[in-house]
């Protein structure tokens, strides 16, 4: 076992629920590297429901595995009651932009001090490959067998428009870049948002990418990710890196007791 | 310099084979304790860059640097 897993894993919960080759484990690994540099005692984790909701469960510390779509409201309560902790939320694209989309934009608008890591595997992984709000237009899934006629949400642009002061996007197939941006998102004071595009070979692979091999999505994501800021994007490509950082934006502070009207 | 793959954690996805810049990892014929076919390491080729370990979704890979433990 990798030494970081040896040190931080909740071993009674192993093996992880993740299918072979699932990017969720690589995101967990990147989180452990950030923890190793910053101290586990400074964190509290919250997650939603979905495969991605299991990411923090394997870290041997305080974790709330909340309801589907409701990780951010739970994290908001935690952030306000435990301002000395760094709150990190792990949520799926369905959890975050589908059922929980309203919570996402309001946490960004209020600038609540938390880091939201949205695992975008383009699909509802856990429940069997139904369409989520984020696959590329035309994607075939179990519930869009003729190709999805809808446009995808660009969650990073959405939260930035709602006021998020720190927004980044990375993939699970470039683990060093992922660690660097995750670390910057976590250091940010106030609401920070990280979209991590991951490979879900079992559902997105078989339905959207044409086969269930993790290698197929690994190569597709490596090819589609563009890190240079000034290169125009071609069809199917997406930008990775820190997309927006406004370090002067003041984080939400609850009103002081003395300021109460009654 | 070598790479060690934990046969109890490995799920046989073979993404490490894809990631290794030195072709030090190849699909193997031995099964781990979870029943998956595991990659095989050719430690003569490994330069301990650690890229495979960073990518491994099951944190099954440790890098052993000469004389330095893991
Ligand atoms: C209130 C509620 N509605 C529906 C579900 C069923 N459900 C479980 S996970 C999930 C979607 C998972 O997709 P996503 O959030 O993208 O996570 P992933 O599994 O892809 O990581 C759904 C619809 C539920 N658990 N609770
Ligand atoms: S269904 Fe997809 S997202 Fe869920 S564990 Fe399997 S590969 Fe990962
Ligand atoms: S440490 Fe580097 S060279 Fe060695 S097997 Fe892993 S990826 Fe290949
Ligand atoms: Mg999903």
Pairing mode, strands A86-92 and A123-124:
unpaired
Per CB-CB distance under 8 Å, the chain A contacts of B15 are 21, 214-215, 218
Tokens of B50: 């650690």
Mean pLDDT across B4-19: 97
Per CB-CB distance under 8 Å, the chain B contacts of A218 are 15, 18
Give the one of A1, A25, A176 whose C-beta lies nearest to B6's C-beta: A1
pLDDT in tens, chain A (262 residues): 999 999 999 999 999 999 999 999 999 999 999 999 999 999 999 999 999 999 999 999 999 999 999 999 999 999 998 889 999 999 999 999 999 999 999 999 999 999 999 999 999 999 999 999 999 999 999 999 999 999 999 999 999 999 999 999 999 999 999 999 999 999 999 999 999 999 999 999 999 999 999 999 999 999 999 999 999 999 999 999 999 999 888 877 765 544 445 5
CA atoms within 13 A on the CB side of A157: 6
Q: What CA–CA distance (Å, rounded) separates A222 from B25?
A: 20
Say whether A172 sits in a helix, a strand or coil. Answer: coil
CA atoms within 13 A on the CB side of A55: 30
Domains along the sequence of chain A with CATH: 3-10+20-244 (3.40.50.970)
CA atoms within 13 A on the CB side of A58: 27
What does the CA dihedral A31, A32, A33, A38 come to, rounded to 10 degrees?
Answer: 90
Pairing mode, strands B61-64 and B2-5:
antiparallel
Domains along the sequence of chain B with CATH: 2-64 (3.30.70.20)
Say what the ipTM of the complex is: 0.93
Which secondary-structure segment (H or E) carries A120? strand A115-120
- Evaluate if residue B69 carries a pLDDT over 80: no
Longest dimension (CA), chain A: 62
Determine contact: B5 vs chain A, CB below 8 A: no
Interface of A with B (CB under 8 A): 1-5, 9, 14-16, 18-26, 28-29, 32, 172-173, 175-176, 179, 201, 214-215, 218-219
Say whether A73 sits in a helix, a strand or coil. Answer: helix
Residue from B53, B57, B64, B70 to probe the interface with A (highest A Cβ count within 10 Å): B57
- Evaluate if residue B68 carries a pLDDT over 90: no
For residue A251, what pLDDT is reported? 79
Tell if the CB–CB gap between B59 and A5 is shorter than 8 Å. Answer: yes
For residue A252, what pLDDT is reported? 79
User: Phi and psi of B53, rounded to 5°?
Assistant: -65, -35
């Amino acid at each position: 076992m990798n030494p970081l897993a040896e040190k931080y894993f909740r071993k009674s919960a192993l093996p992880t629920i993740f299918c072979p080759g699932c990017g969720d484990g690589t995101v967990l690994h990147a989180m452990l590297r950030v923890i190793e540099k910053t101290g586990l005692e400074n964190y509290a984790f919250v997650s939603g429901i979905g495969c991605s909701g299991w990411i923090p469960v394997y870290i041997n510390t305080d974790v709330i595995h909340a309801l589907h779509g409701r990780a951010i409201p739970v994290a908001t309560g935690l952030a306000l009651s435990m301002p000395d902790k760094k709150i990190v939320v792990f949520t799926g694209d369905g959890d975050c932009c589908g059922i929980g989309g309203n919570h996402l934009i309001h946490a960004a608008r209020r600038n609540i001090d938390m880091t939201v890591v949205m695992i975008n595997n383009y699909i509802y992984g856990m429940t069997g490959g139904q369409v989520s709000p984020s696959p590329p237009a035309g994607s075939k899934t179990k519930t869009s067998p003729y190709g999805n006629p809808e446009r995808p949400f660009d969650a990073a642009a959405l939260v930035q428009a709602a006021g998020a002061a720190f927004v980044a996007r990375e993939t699970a197939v470039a683990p060093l870049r992922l660690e660097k941006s995750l670390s910057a998102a976590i250091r940010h004071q106030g609401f920070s948002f990280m979209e991590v595009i991951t490979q879900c070979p079992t559902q997105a692979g078989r339905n959207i990418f044409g086969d269930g091999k993790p290698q197929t999505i690994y190569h597709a994501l490596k090819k589609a990710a563009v890190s240079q800021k000034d290169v125009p994007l071609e069809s199917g490509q997406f930008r990775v890196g820190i997309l927006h950082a406004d370090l002067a934006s003041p984080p939400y502070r609850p009103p002081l007791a003395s300021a109460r009207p009654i | 310099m070598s790479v060690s793959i934990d046969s109890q954690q490995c799920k046989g996805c073979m993404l490490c084979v894809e990631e290794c810049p030195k072709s030090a990892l190849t699909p193997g014929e031995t099964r781990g304790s979870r029943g998956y076919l595991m990659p095989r390491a050719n430690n003569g080729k490994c330069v301990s860059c650690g890229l495979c370990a960073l990518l491994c979704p099951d944190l099954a890979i440790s890098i052993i640097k000469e004389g330095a433990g893991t």
